């Protein structure tokens, strides 16, 4: 059981690191994009891509956090823990659904095509 506790802890820390790393990268990109906006550059496409990249880091981090919660629930499977886990998974699924819908929007495909050429 002690091993599962450490697995849960390490998995949760990895999830937090991924989210923080994505936010840090997003912040640097945001500052660069806004600097270019002040110089008169059209930044609409770059802002969409920034949202897409940040969203992917958030989703990946959430996956690790969910895994940590699942392992933690295995350690002490009380009814309260199961209810909390179910709620977290429902919220994560809703966030994932809407974020994926946003990423499927045509402006992301346009951005990708423009950046590849």
Sequence spans of domains, the chain: 2-116
| pLDDT at 88 (0 to 100) | 81
Give the relative orientation of helices 79-103 and 44-75 as an angle to the nearest 10 degrees. Answer: 160
| pLDDT at 106 (0 to 100) | 58
What number is the average pLDDT over the span 45-63?
87
> Would the pLDDT of 107 be above 80?
no
> Rounded CA gap, 105 and 108, in Å?
6
| Cα maximum dimension of the chain | 58
Alpha helix (H) residue ranges in the chain: 2-38, 44-75, 79-103, 106-116
- The rounded mean pLDDT for the chain is 83
- Taking the model in full, what pTM does it have? 0.75
Task: Provide the residue count of the chain.
Answer: 117
Coil, strand or helix: which one is 105?
coil
Q: Two tokens at 7?
A: 């697995």
pLDDT greater at residue 73 or residue 35: 35
| pLDDT at 28 (0 to 100) | 96
């Amino acid at each position: 059981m002690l091993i599962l506790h450490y697995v849960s802890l390490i998995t949760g820390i990895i999830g937090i690191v991924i989210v923080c790393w994505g936010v840090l990268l997003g912040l640097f990109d945001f500052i660069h994009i806004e600097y270019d906006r002040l110089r008169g550059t059209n930044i609409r496409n770059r802002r969409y891509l920034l949202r897409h990249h940040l969203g992917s880091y958030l989703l990946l981090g959430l996956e690790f956090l969910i895994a940590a919660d699942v392992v933690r629930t295995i350690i002490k499977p009380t009814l309260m823990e199961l209810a909390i886990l179910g709620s977290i998974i429902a919220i994560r699924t809703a966030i994932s659904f809407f974020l994926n819908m946003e990423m499927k929007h045509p402006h992301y495909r346009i951005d990708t095509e423009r950046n590849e050429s």
